[in-house]
Amino acid sequence: MNQTIITVTLNPALDKTITLDQLEIGGLNRTKEIRIDPGGKGINAAKVLKTFHVDVLATGFIAGQTGKQLIGQLNQLAIPNHFVEVNGETRTNLKIVDEDANVTTEINEPGFSISNQEIELFKQQLSERITPHSVVVFGGSLPVNAPTSIYQELIDMANKKGAKTILDADGPALQEGIKAKPFAIKPNLYELEQLLGQTLDHQQKILSAGKEIIESGISLVMISMGEQGAIILNAKEAFHITPFSITPKSTVGAGDSMVATLAYSLLQNKSLEETGLLATTAGTITASKEGTQVCTLEEILQSINRSKSFNLNKMIKN
């Protein structure tokens, strides 16, 4: 049976990216370029994984004409998908790129609402697709009316089927989701600070926070820190991976590229250090691209030697 990476996007979106020479707040703006892409954390991860030539399936909920358009785009990208259709309309997320200031402003809609019956249907269909060889990625915001415990319930189900699970969420969805002990989580520094209710303003504090999460029963923690790279750790090892210098063009999808590469690394049984190097390089390359374009495996392998790894094992044993 093929090993499969399944990405779960409960609240997907069409990402509409508008590029301007310069954003005039309160004034008339004329677009330089417009592109529309299927979006949401899990879908972005699936787009990356498709370029890795691995068996990937995108799942979640979908609604309305926007949802049909999103599915059509996934089909054009040859990304296998299976979404539960619900009432309402899939959201459109607007990203405004100010080229002069090199700043992207994001405006995200809330999306559709889902019922308990629809949640149960999705659980049943997802359960049928998970095998002990699966890696399942859960990512992004929740639909309106979804219980904050939904990731916890889904991860618990996937864990019981023997799959490896990854959670990339924030706020209450992350707080509740980690109670199910996913195999790995990938918070950014701000999300980790919000989760633990403390400021993590130097490396030892970040490591201690990651260690606390590991001791709670999660096997791997990767903390993304933007241009400072990432810290990745498990119960035995820790590394700080620093990226090479780029001119960032869009941070949209950089974190999702890291999650996709983490999933790929788990499937390939990569070491912790190599996983950190691959994921950090992936995020860096995606951040160097315009709009919602993502990295490819070939690009990662060409640039991985430009990322640097620092062993922090002594620090986690203190």
pLDDT band at residue 1 under the 50/70/90 scheme: very low
pLDDT at 41 over 90: yes
Q: Please state the rounded mean pLDDT for residues 180-201.
A: 95
Residues belonging to the active site:
256
CATH code of the domain containing 244: 3.40.1190.20
- Cβ partners under 8 Å of residue 241, min gap 6: 229, 230, 231, 232, 276, 277, 279, 280, 307, 308, 309, 310
- What pLDDT, on a 0 to 100 scale, did the predictor assign at position 293? 78
Query: Using CA of residue 299, residue 304, residue 306, residue 310, what is the dihedral sign?
Result: positive
Q: Is it the case that residue 66 has pLDDT exceeding 50? A: yes
Amino acid occupying residue 288? S
| Amino acid 7: pLDDT | 98
CA distance 138 to 168: 6
Task: Examine the pLDDT at 55 and tell me if it is beyond 80.
Answer: yes
State how beta strands 135-139 and 164-168 pair: parallel
Lowest pLDDT segment from 96-105, 109-118, 126-135, 232-241: 96-105
CA atoms within 13 A on the CB side of 11: 23
Q: Is the pLDDT of residue 270 over 80?
A: yes
**pLDDT one-digit tens code per residue, 134-145:** 999 999 999 999
Antiparallel, parallel or unpaired: β 5-9 and 13-20? unpaired
Return the residue matching tokens 């809609």. Answer: 109
Per the structure, the complete domain to which residue 108 belongs is given by 5-316
- Banded pLDDT at 318 (limits 50, 70, 90): low
Band the pLDDT of 80: cuts 50, 70, 90.
very high
**Averaged pLDDT, 302-312:** 96
Q: Are 166 and 185 in contact (CB under 8 A)?
A: yes
- Residue 3: predicted pLDDT: 61
Structure tokens at 9: 């996007």
Q: How far is CA 293 from CA 1, 36, 247, in A?
A: 31, 11, 15
Residue 136 has phi, psi (to 5 degrees) of -115, 125
Asked if residue 99 has pLDDT above 90, the reply is: no
Provide the H-helix boundaries in the chain. Answer: 41-51, 64-76, 116-129, 150-160, 171-177, 189-196, 203-215, 254-267, 272-287, 297-303, 313-316
Structural domain total, the chain: 1
Compute CA 231 distance to the chain's CA centroid, rounded to the nearest angstrom.
Answer: 16
